[in-house]
Amino acid sequence: MTMSADAREALRRLTAAFEEHLGAVASRRGDEDAAVDDAYEALAEAFVRYEEALDIEYAETLPVLLDEDFDDDSLDGHAEEDEEDMDDDMDDFDLRNE
């Protein structure tokens, strides 16, 4: 597989993960529906893989941040972050990559 094919495959998987997440949310069977949490985790993991592929292949990043608490082993799919913390995160994020 060529390097650009890795990013393209990661993008395909990310797009599919968005579709799966929407399907799970649209058919939610209650506040504690495990399918929604599973889809959330799969989407977050696909996002990380896509961003890593962009970084490796093109030295590029995305203008989107994941919840700082995300890691591949445990994810609170419905964690709430303090608005002030979110503002601090955005202050640290530079879209221009200078």
Instruction: Give per-residue pLDDT as tens, 42-62.
Output: 999 999 999 999 999 999 999
The whole-angstrom separation of Cα 46 and Cα 11 is 8
- The answer as to whether 33 is a domain residue is yes
The whole-angstrom separation of Cα 52 and Cα 60 is 9
**In the prediction, which pLDDT does 72 show?**
52
- The answer as to whether 98 is a domain residue is no
Containing structural domain, residue 41: 3-92
Per-residue pLDDT of 17-46, as tens digits, reads: 999 999 999 999 999 999 999 999 999 999
**In the prediction, which pLDDT does 66 show?**
81
Arithmetic mean of pLDDT, 86-91:
54
**In the prediction, which pLDDT does 77 show?**
44
- The answer as to whether 97 is a domain residue is no
For residue 24, the SS3 value is helix
- The answer as to whether 44 is a domain residue is yes
Checking if the pLDDT of 12 tops 80, the result is yes
Contact 14, 50 (CB under 8 A): yes
For the chain, the domain total comes to: 1
